[in-house]
Structure formats: C-alpha cells, structure tokens
Amino acid sequence: MKSTYERLEQMEKRIIQDGFTNPKGIGSDIPHFVLDYPPKDELQVRVYIENMLKRTKINIKEVNLFEFLLSFFDEDELEELFEMEEEEGLQGLIDVFEPILNESNTMIQQFKDITEEADLIFITGVGSAHPFLRSSQLLKAVSSKGYKKTIVLFYPGEFTGLRLKLFGILDYEDDYQLSRIS
C-alpha cells in the first residue's frame, strides 16, 4: 500500500494532466474526487497542499470547511458564538449553525462565490469542521444544484468506495458520487 506522501504525489501528477479540470465523457457528470488518508497524516497533507498551491500553475481554490463555516458570520457574531459556546456548550453552536447549513441555497451561493474563478477546488479542514459541517453535506448540496467544477476532497479517514468513515471511526452513509483520486 502506498504512503500518504506517495498518494499526494500521484494526485498532483493526475490533476495537472490535460482535461482533468474539464472532464468529458462517461462518468464526468460529477467530477468529485476524494483522497482519504490516515488522520495521523493530517499535518503532512496540509504541508503538501500548501507547497503544491505555491508551485502549481492551475488555478486552485482551497476551501477549508471550518473557515467556510465561519464565513457566514461577521466579527461581532463570532464573538457571540464564543460566548454561546462557553454558556451552552457544543449543542448551542450546533443549534446556531443548523439553520444556515440546512438552507442549502445560502450555502451553495457562498460556495459558488468563493470558488467562481477557480479551475479546481480542494476541500480541506474536514476534521476541524466536524460535527458542525460534514463534507458530504456540502458535496450533496452543490451536486444537487448542478455544480460541475472539479473538486478534490482531502479526507482524514477511510473511503471504501461507497462510504466515508471520518477518523476511521465515524461512519456516514453517503449517496453522492465520489471517486478515489489515488
């Protein structure tokens, strides 16, 4: 089995191939890919992506799910969220985030706005956004609205070909198309 670093290198070679960001033919309807990796390799993945973004000529937009979630709030509202978390705990935050995330049009528009210029989107920060925003929640929302840009999801866990297991522990049933990139 290849190491995470070898898989990252293989992924980088694949995304620079002609046609990767504009797939055509069978299976190109939803060009969403996943690079799953052991959670212990998170720092290695972050550093590799950071360096790759500096050296690539492809217009890639990295969307960190936790930062994406926070982008729905202004500075004063973020302060209120910190206070709420201290008073009400995790459930209080979940109650605040839930209406925003359940309104998929708002989430999709925000996602489109920040990715409109990109040729390729990297989704990172999956673990840090949990349990507020799941990667499957975002991917299902954008897929349902016909978003066709190529996405690579960096996933700290396991992808079985049908299911994602965050951190190799939390099991989610997902019914959207994903392909392993390497």
Q: 11-66, pLDDT tens digit by residue?
A: 999 998 877 787 665 555 668 888 999 999 999 999 999 999 999 999 999 999 98
Which residue(s) pair with 63 in the sheet? 123
Classify each residue of 17-30 as buried b or exposed e, where b means 16 or more C-beta atoms within 10 Å of its C-beta: eeebbeeeeeeeeb
Q: What's the distance, CA 92 to chain centroid?
A: 24
Residue 171: its pLDDT value, please?
Answer: 60
Copy the structure tokens of residue 29.
């309807």
Q: Could you tell me which residues are beta bridge partners of residue 153?
A: 34, 123
pLDDT band at residue 172 using 50, 70 and 90 as cut-offs: low
Residues 96 and 70: their CA atoms lie apart, in Å, by 12
Q: Give the pLDDT of residue 125.
A: 92
pLDDT for residue 152: 92
Predicted pLDDT of residue 174: 56
More confident position, 176 or 146: 146
Q: Is the pLDDT of residue 168 over 90?
A: no
Q: Distance between CA 70 and CA 66 in Å, rounded?
A: 6
Do the beta carbons of residue 161 and residue 34 sit within 8 Å?
no
pLDDT of 108-151, one tens digit each? 888 888 998 999 999 999 888 877 777 877 887 777 666 778 88
- Between 119 and 170, the more confident residue is 119
Burial of 79 (0-12, 13-18, 19+ CB in 10 A): exposed
Residue 146: what residue type?
A: G
* pLDDT > 70? residue 81: yes
Check if the beta carbon of residue 101 is closer than 8 Å to that of residue 63. Answer: no
Non-local (6+) Cβ contacts of 104 within 8 A are: 141, 144, 145
Rg (CA), the chain: 17
pLDDT of the residue at 74: 81
Report which residue type is found at 134: R
